[in-house]
Structure 1
Amino acid sequence: MKWNKDDTTWTLSLFGTAIGAGVLFLPISAGMGGLIPLIIILILAYPLTFLTHRGLCRFVLSDKNPSDDITGVAGNYFGKVGGFIITLVYFFAIFPIVLIYSVGITNTLISFVVHQMGYENFGSSSLSRIIISLILVGILMIISYLGENVVTKIMSYLVYPFIAFLIIVALFLIPQWNTSLFEHISFSGVPGGHGMWFTLWLVIPVMVFSFNHSPIISSLAVHEKKRYGELADKKASKIISRSNIIMVIVVMFFTFSCALCLTPHDFALANKQNISILSYVANKFNAPILEIIAPIVAFVAMSKSFLGHYLGAREGFNGIVRKASGKNISEKKLNIAAVIIMFLIAWFVAYENPNILNIIEGIGGLVLVAILFLMPIYAIWRYPALKAYRNIWISIFVVVFGIIAITAAIYGLV
């Protein structure tokens, strides 16, 4: 099977779903512990991302019905009740992230117009925020409704400028590189900060979230099943692998470039100020161009991640309606209902701008880790249809880091 344009589109769509605003905070979380956590993350990023997402993809591919997405496969394996629970959990793991991006996109645009363009009253009234959030969320929902092919193409187009932004910023910071990162290299951590192992423990969920593209994996699996049949696993695995390689190269180059121009103390300050790494770097080095680039990068990142997560949320919504009603409702009617209901909720949340988003993100992340790390491994060892994918060492590796991510996420919530 030769590589083709469709494969490239899916590769970039996976990248687009994964690499969102989280990448702008990964250097902060990782950099607070000094050099060793950064090296460990560099080593873990590809295998952990690839093995977990390939496992979820194989779970969907194991059902030979080309049209069965993750919600249908879950029902086939876990039964009517179990399948409904998995579908419900899947939806509520992904949809809150759509809401987070709805709020983030609205706030980023308002902040950009106010601070970078000088329109101080933009978005200050309730009416103006209603209109701004309506336009932004509405445009993204219209794109989402146009179908999987349109969404993946638009996401693949958005990825190019985003990759360019990250690489340009990383190169821009090279003259500011220094040797601070190589001082105080110790397994006990950096002076005045958390211990190295503690920092690494807390950064694992951030890394998982930064590279997570599980919401679009089911769509990829269905697409490849329909197109390649028995050869779908080989093709899908290659697409996931190549997208993950691009992710690791781009994101870790950006992360290390930031780490090499700052100190662990700088990262701690950025964390305390609760700002992205681009904003902190712009303030520290008096680089007005970064102050302009930062919100643009964040806006593009959140827009493409919104589209990718919507595909997963729609799958979950459609699965819930089908299983709850017990009727074979047409895909078109379900998609219309999904886009209307999720648009209204996302619009309302974007307008309200709630202050509980970190809790929602934390809870959603917990459930997402369970579905991405633990559920596929359980299915592989529980059901004969997945017997060919059993590997004890890969299973142990994924489960151990799944538990680490879950415990760290719980600690973050508490």
Structure 2
Amino acid sequence: GGLVAKNLLLTFPVLVFAMNFSPICSALGRNYREQADNAEAAVAKTDRVVFWNSLILLVFVMFFVFSIVLSQTPESMVAAKANNIDVLTMISLQAHEPWLKFLIPLVAFIAIVSSYFGHFIGTREGLDGMIYRVATWSADSDAKARFNHKKLRRYTTIGMIIGLWLLAVVNPPILKIIGAMSAPIIALYCYIMPVLLMKRVPRLAIYRTRWAALVFLFGLVTIVGYGVAEFL
């Protein structure tokens, strides 16, 4: 019973991380706001895009997860975790069919490309915004207008590439990073903070729904789950 509860609680942070595409949402919203005639039309458009994207992502992720679980033994999953390798690498080491040896790297490449659009671009935009705010905190309007955004984007891109390269060299345990850092932070600003802002900011009241409490609860479970599971 304790082992099942531990594994279930550890699943929530990983699931939240796998389903997250929030870094690109700001660019998505800005793009539709520029195209739409008014804010209401932009909100309706982004809501539809996010809904269908979430649904497709849920189906794809769960299909992938169940396929992997049914194709691997518990021993191979434990070995993959111990060696800090992804399950696609584990399958490629076990595969004997030539078409699988071609398909698995292709799937990995597609995943990397999708991560670039879903995470890298949005993260870089957020980092650019924070640096710009700090750099122009006390500047006047003329100094803000002269700020070189292209140069900033170039430096942040280079910095992120170097940081990602160093992480790949160090090869830290990815599941622990997701559970202890990435997923709780994502749960905080994607599940907890939006619900609180809907309650506190009047202009965000239009986003209140009956599902807000469930979203808030799932965020709490994600944040607390990893810490509780570590003590089980």
Both structures adopt the same fold (TM-score exceeding 0.5)? yes
Could you say which residue in structure 1 is the equivalent of 2:50? Answer: 240
Conservation of the 8 A alpha-carbon contact between 1:318 and 1:335: no
Is the contact made by 1:278 and 1:290 (CA closer than 8 Å) also made in structure 2? no
CA shift, 1:240, in A, is 0.9
- What does 1:106-185 align with in structure 2 at a 5 Å threshold? none
- TM-score calculated relative to the size of structure 2: 0.79
Distance 1:301 1:411, change over 3 A: farther
C-alpha change, 1:283 and 1:322, in structure 2 (3 Å) is: closer
Deviation at 1:345, TM superposition (A): 4.6
How far, CA to CA, are the matches of 2:116 and 2:123 in structure 1? 10
Q: Which residue in the other structure is 1:364 paired with?
A: 182
Q: Distance in 1 between matches of 2:146 and 2:50?
A: 27
1:207: which partner in 2?
15
- Segments of 5+ residues of structure 1 without an aligned counterpart are 1-187
Mapped partners of 1:317, 1:254: distance in 2? 31
2:60 partner SS? helix
2:138 maps to 1:321: no
Aligned pair count reads: 221
| Shift in alpha-carbon separation, 1:380–1:276, aligned structure 2, 3 A | same
CA offset digits 1:149-185 (Å, max 9, x no partner)? xxxxxxxxxxxxxxxxxxxxxxxxxxxxxxxxxxxxx
Q: CA deviation at 1:400?
A: 1.3
Distance 2:184 2:218 in 1: 13
Partner of 1:380: 198
Cα displacement (A) at 1:411: 5.9
TM-score, length-scaled by structure 1: 0.47
Residue of structure 2 in register with 1:279 after alignment: 89
8 A Cα contact 2:6 2:229, kept in partner? no
Which residue number in structure 2 is paired with residue 74 of structure 1?
none
Partner of 1:268: 78
Q: CA deviation at 1:205?
A: 0.9
Give 1:398 deviation, angstroms.
0.9
Q: Which moved more, 1:378-387 or 1:255-264?
A: 255-264
RMSD across aligned positions (CA)? 3.0
C-alpha separation between the residues in 2 aligned to 1:302 and 1:357? 19
Deviations 1:62-111 (A, max 9, x none): xxxxxxxxxxxxxxxxxxxxxxxxxxxxxxxxxxxxxxxxxxxxxxxxxx
* Residue 390 of structure 1, aligned match among 177, 195, 208: 208
Partner of 1:405: 222
Quick one: structure 1 residues 390 and 307, their matched pair in 2 at CA, closer, same or farther if it must change by over 3 Å?
A: closer
* Aligned equivalents of 2:122, 2:85: Cα separation in 1: 28
| Alignment partner, residue 161 of structure 2 | 346
Unaligned runs of 5+ in 2: none
**AA in 2 matched with 1:382:** R
SS of corresponding position for 2:103: helix
| Identical-residue share of aligned pairs (%) | 26
